[in-house]
Amino acid sequence: MGELGVNKILAALLATVLGLMALHQLSGIVFGHGADEAPHGEDHAEATSMSEQMCAKYAYCVQVADSGAASAPVEEVFDLGAALASADASKGERTFKAQCATCHNVADGGANGTGPNLHGVVGAAKAVHPGFAYSAVLSGIGGDWTYQELDPWLNNPSAYARGTSMSFAGLRRDSDRVNVIAYLAAISPNAPALPAPLAAASNEATPAEGEAARAEGEAGAAMDAVEGDAPVETAPDAPADVAPEATATELAPAEAPAAEESLN
């Protein structure tokens, strides 16, 4: 084969190599471009959670709640019993004189004013004070002036009894309201006992209980380990020359001793 034939073979090999390289580059451009375009088409799609991303990568996964999700708001409950337990009747008297005494008398046997006399009102029946003309809406509610009834009434009378003739806006500050209720209870000879504070969550163990439970568990584990490693003792065999009846009698343990508006 001449020099011309060798050159042709080398040229063919070089052309083949260049063709393969060009094909590889072309496939990378085509398929790489398509892969890059996929995320851009999802720019406005909802972002997946971390748990979903992990499950997309691995065949076996456990769904985990997204910690970034907004938790449900906790409703705040007003603890009337706890508030009344720490109420100050002397402050309530000052608040009463400043905002209520214009319409209400609190003297025992005192006359009615624009509103009824409030002496002994806590625990008394609603709308029954002698000599006062109550509005029909308050008279129709019925029941007694308990602490649980006085609290919403003094907070917003018009919302408690819609249509009441009492024009008082209410004591919206909790401390002012419970102090006035404590004062009214102090001038009510038959006032019932204060309501108990709300009970704490029963499923929350105290730190002392948690420590005690842990100590008990550790002690139990230690006893199990000791009992598992300790050798088992067996009673020695009875002498061969002792009769079975005698052996049973002699080896038996000795018996143990016996054991022991306006409110209108």
Strands (E), the chain: none
Against a cut of 0.75, is the pTM above it? no
CATH T-level fold of 85-186: Cytochrome Bc1 Complex; Chain D, domain 2 (1.10.760)
Pairwise pLDDT comparison (87 vs 59), residue with the higher score: 87
Q: Which of 175, 185, 198 is nearest to 82 (CA)?
A: 198
Under DSSP, is residue 115 helix (H, G, I), strand (E, B) or coil?
A: coil
State the DSSP code for 125: B
Cα–Cα distance between 73 and 47 in angstroms, integer? 24
Q: Which of 123, 101, 228, 116 is nearest to 185 (CA)?
A: 123
What is the Cα–Cα distance from 115 to 134, expressed in whole angstroms?
Answer: 9
The pLDDT, as a whole number, for residue 195 is 94
Query: For a pLDDT cut of 90, what percent of the chain falls above it?
Result: 43
Q: How is residue 138 annotated by DSSP?
A: H
Q: Above 60 in pLDDT, residue 121?
A: yes
Q: Which residues contact 93 (CB under 8 A, 6 or more apart)?
A: 183
Q: How many CA atoms lie within 13 A of 86 on its CB side?
A: 7
Residue 114, number of CB atoms within 10 A of its CB: 15
As a whole number, the mean pLDDT across the chain is 76
Directed axis angle between helix 89-99 and helix 174-186, to 10°?
100
pLDDT of residue 257: 46
Predicted confidence (pLDDT) at residue 230 exceeds the cutoff of 60: no
User: Looking up tokens 């380990």, which residue turns up?
Assistant: 225
pLDDT category at 59 given cuts 50, 70, 90 is: low
pLDDT band at 127 (very low <50, low <70, confident <90, very high): very high
Write down the pLDDT at residue 51.
Answer: 66
Residue 83: how many CB atoms within 10 A of its CB? 21
